[in-house]
Chains A and B, each alone.
Chain A
Amino acid sequence: MTAIPLGVPRRLVEFTLDGREARVPEGATVLDACRAAGKDVPTLCQGDTLRPKNACRVCVVEVEGSRTLVPACSRRAEPGMEVRTDTERVRHSRKIVLELLASSADLSTTPRAAEWIKEYEAKPDRFGPGAARLNDEPRIDNELYVRDYAKCILCYKCVDACGDQWQNSFAISVAGRGFDARIAVEHDAPLTDSACVFCGNCVEVCPTGALSAKREFDLRAAGDWDESRQTETTTVCAYCGVGCTLTLHVQDNEIVKVTSPHDNPVTHGNLCIKGRFGYQHVQNRG
């Protein structure tokens, strides 16, 4: 018999969301409530498998009685709270945050960024041609994944995934301060000299494509990466007895990327170096 865990029964919290009654289980965030109500709140640093870091501030909403706007991703719903997600003040902050990000980083591989920039009428160019940008070159110091710092928005997701939230390798951290802060290993050394175990779980959570598998990076550089031509095949990793679920991304009958579903109870989207990068033997047709 399969036991289905029902979890502890949770009380419902009632509050007002854009003038309408909202009910969510106790402990749910404002973002959960927004999504349950079908509202589209942009998010970048929020991850479905990570604790909210609320660093990007693109999900801010207005809460009655609060001096500043609050991040929907981390603020828990409280009884009686009055939340507004579409006021002029909210739209203004989201617009500016998108402008600040798009004017300083390359969002070309950030899913939905272009759509949000249009929706909020953001004009990243208005800071002028002299506006400081992250102009770092991509760092390619290993065969498995690439760090393209020009696309990094410093969302901390990779650091959290590498640290105590998933991998416990603690290979990377934020170094420096302010606009000069960068994700780095100690002494800015190459990854191959660090504690990195090349599990690629940081790549999995990166929201902008600043971290990408080398294969994807190369295909993109050559202009051959085409998600519309890709199929996804779900299978089980054959390397060890854990049996992680794998999703093989196949383009032109060739595996181009391996991920794992985030809602999988075994992996929560995480894999190890073998599962994520060790697929060459499958297509060794020689």
Chain B
Amino acid sequence: MDLHFGDGKPTDEERAAVDALLGPPESAWEGADRTDADLRWARGGRAARDRRDLLLPGLHALNDRVGWISQGGLGYLCRRLTVPPAEAYGVATFYALFSVRPRPATVLHVCTDLACVTAGAEEVCAGIEARLGPGSGVGVERGPCLGLCERAPAALAVRAGDPVRTAVSAPASVAEAVDTSGAPDAAPEEPPAVAAVPQAGDPSLTLLRRIGVVDPSSLDDYRAHGGYTALRRAFALGPAGVIREVTDAGLVGRGGAAFPTGRKWQATASQPDHPHYLVCNADESEPGTFKDRVLMEGDPFALVEAITIASYAVCAHRAFVYIRGEYPRAVRRVQHAIDQARARGLLGDDILGQGYHLDIEIRRGAGAYICGEETALFNSIEGYRGEPRSKPPFPVEKGLFGKPTAENNVETLVNVLPVLAMGAPAYAAIGTARSTGPKLFCVSGSVDRPGVYELPFGATLGELLDLAGVRAGLRAVLLGGAAGGFVRPDELDLPLTFEGTREAGTTLGSGVVMAFDDTVPLPRLLLRIAEFFREESCGQCVPCRVGTVRQEEALRRIADRTGAGAADDIALLREVGQAMRDASICGLGQTAWNAVESAIDRLGAWT
């Protein structure tokens, strides 16, 4: 590899930001000033290229310090990591939170997704843009769901510097959001995670029981509330015993695909290739989903303990948590929990004196829905564009760094604690025969008490909506987020289980339950969903890259039409949708037409 670097030089700030992450450069080959020794000894090769996975953290370092990624800054990072600049540029331009063009140091990300737009985000956004025009020192960027749906409409201010500062304004008014972006340091502290848990204090809670009860920054408090008993039980059972318990408990993945967790672990643990990895998928980007954020912010030690158990079961000694970049507080809380656990011997070389060693690293996403797809997430961690890989081979065989990897969603992992604490039979007794355990639901939209709800599988949609205080005039409920589907108000007896929703021809997905009343124009919502998929398509395969564009164009044409006037375009949508579902590489393209289809078939949109 003969790398070619441009003439751009990093500024002192950019150099400092990269060096803070990677340490000072050792030679001119890595970007230091040239000495005589450098002319005699070329450093590089495989050892230098082995750090490619630090590309994404490096891009974050630059973007956090100066607000954008300049030619000089990117060139220096490439020299440090022996990455071709063209590839690094391809990676930097993949993520929505990065910019390769100069922009103000402060950026206000305003959510214009489903929950926020029904709560008036459009007016708020227009007001903000009118106040923060060019020259205001704040860049305003409309973006996808920020995962703050219970407090819609939401805005996130990010001010580059050392350190980078962030502040959330939710529910946002024009004045508040403008003030927050002007002084992120002075913004009022966000409400605690428990504010998103309307059931807090209910003794029947399992997954949410510690949220609002324990101090999320205190390991002692966590242990005083039952923390780390599951890990002791895991060590007593041994890896095979843990997998058996999880399998017998019937635990299935909560990220949307509902794959049996025990089977995934067993398949990973039994691979002869080493090392094994465990990856926690906390790139919660499905519009309307915020349960993982609440878990990470309210009970971060639970996630750390659960990752430790899962890693132990699949014989991994290195685990990654990939948290979406829009969750700064969750990143801080989980990082603090990992540091605390390491300091107290609950991570590191000899966990609980059992001779098992594990370390957990956090990787931050940078604004790409597609990185929630398991193989795209691997590519993102490895420092490549977050494009999904084709399967087979499956991650349990060739995952992160091409090695056997178990990847689980935050909620799935947190469920492992009650499985071990109460035992498989007791856990399996919760819920229904085929969907066992408790499930978290993210309820937002037209309800009085939006938030994360915990109910055993099998509760009906109506029960959940009653609990959340659904408002009058319900027109439709979106299950599973943008990749999910709509159901009608007369389908409230739908049981919330994987098999129940499947039989009804819809999906539970990641647990999104978004209620819309009849004041919201349905075509407008569908257009927003189509825009979302067009913007978030990675562009790798044709059905998704062009199909999502054609879907949006057709929806735009029929926004104000009904009946026969829309029939031709609906037929076109069906044809394109079928090809996206059949021929796309990954779940993004395969589900990009789900919500629109369900709106046509179930809700009778455009009739």
**Which residues on A are within 8 Å of B, measured CB to CB?**
54-58, 60, 68-69, 71, 74, 89, 92-93, 95-97, 100-101, 103-104, 126-128, 130-132, 153-154, 156, 163, 168-181, 184-187, 189, 193-195
Contact = CB atoms under 8 A, between A and B. Distances in A.
A179 B93 contact: no
Interface in B109-150: none
Interface in B531-553: 534-543, 545-550, 553
B86 A101 contact: no
A56 B584 CA distance: 9
Interface in B365-399: 368, 385, 390
A175 B93 contact: yes
Given A177-B94, A186-B88, A187-B89, 8 more contacts: A68-B581, A68-B583, A154-B545, A171-B4, A175-B93, A177-B368, A187-B100, A195-B2
A204 to B, nearest CB: 19
B86 A176 contact: no
Contacts of B3: 170, 195
| 9 closest residue pairs by CB, A with B | A170-B84, A195-B4, A173-B90, A96-B579, A181-B539, A100-B546, A186-B85, A186-B89, A178-B537
A94 to B, nearest CB: 8
Contacts of B93: 175-177
20 contacts: A55-B541, A57-B585, A60-B582, A92-B575, A93-B583, A96-B579, A97-B542, A100-B546, A100-B547, A100-B579, A101-B542, A127-B550, A154-B545, A170-B86, A173-B84, A177-B536, A178-B536, A184-B86, A184-B90, A195-B86
Given A68-B584, A97-B543, A131-B553, A195 B84 contact: yes
A179 B544 CA distance: 9
B585 A54 contact: yes
A5 to B, nearest CB: 28
Contacts of B543: 57, 93, 96-97, 100
B541 to A, nearest CB: 5
Given A92-B578, A170-B3, A195-B86, A57 B71 contact: no
A4 B583 CA distance: 41
A187 B539 contact: no
A243 B87 CA distance: 32
B572 interface: yes
B74 interface: yes
A187 to B, nearest CB: 5
A71 B390 contact: yes
Contacts of A186: 6, 71, 74, 85-86, 88-89
Nearest to B1: A168
A104 B539 CA distance: 13
A154 B385 CA distance: 14
B316 interface: no
Nearest to A73: B390
Given A54-B390, A100-B543, A189-B6, A173 B87 contact: yes
B505 to A, nearest CB: 15
B585 A96 contact: no
Nearest to B571: A126
Nearest to A172: B86
Contacts of B100: 187
A93 B3 CA distance: 41
Given A126-B572, A177-B537, A187-B71, A56 B542 contact: yes
